């Protein structure tokens, strides 16, 4: 290949490799769960960060074999389907609800997701934040307010 073209290609690819490394680092180091799944009701996991696995009590290898439908309580299936329809129409979903850990316990989450292009196809990109600590603080504050109200 001509040296001139090699230089042009290298000049183009070097920044791409740097951006890829940056996004990989953000993905891997995020404290929130981030995962990519198939755009259907079952939602087979395509890729997930370590926080997603840890938050739900799985190893990264186990989490990668899950379907996102396994993370949602059965009673929220209709809401999940409506959210998927909205995402596939180009919208994003943001909702507080519960997820299920490997041990079956439930925990509150803030779920944000939307459809994006990934490796040439449409997938669902999800961001999940565990709200357990926030809910404990809210409950403690409510208890304090109720105690104060009873004194008045």
E runs forming strands in 6-84: 33-37, 45-48
Q: 33-151 sits in which CATH class?
A: alpha beta
pLDDT per position as a tens digit, 65-94: 999 999 999 888 788 888 999 999 999 999
Residues 6+ apart with CB under 8 A from 63: 35, 45, 48, 52, 53, 56
* pTM of the full structure: 0.79
pLDDT tens profile 5-53: 666 666 665 666 777 888 888 888 999 999 999 999 899 999 999 999 9
| Domain map (residue ranges) of the chain | 1-30, 33-151
């Amino acid at each position: 290949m001509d040296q001139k073209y090699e230089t042009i290609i290298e000049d183009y690819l070097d920044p791409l490799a740097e951006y890829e490394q940056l996004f990989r680092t953000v993905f891997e180091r995020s404290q929130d769960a981030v995962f990519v799944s198939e755009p259907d009701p079952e939602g087979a996991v395509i890729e997930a960060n370590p926080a997603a696995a840890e938050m739900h009590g799985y190893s990264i290898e186990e989490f990668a074999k899950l379907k996102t439908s396994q993370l949602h309580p059965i009673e929220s299936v209709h809401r999940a389907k409506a959210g998927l329809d909205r995402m596939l129409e180009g919208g994003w979903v943001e909702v507080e609800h519960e997820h299920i850990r490997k041990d079956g316990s439930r925990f509150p989450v803030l779920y944000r997701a939307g459809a994006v292009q990934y490796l040439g196809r449409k997938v669902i990109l999800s961001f999940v934040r565990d709200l357990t600590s926030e809910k404990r603080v809210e409950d403690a504050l409510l208890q304090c307010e109720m105690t104060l109200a009873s004194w008045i």
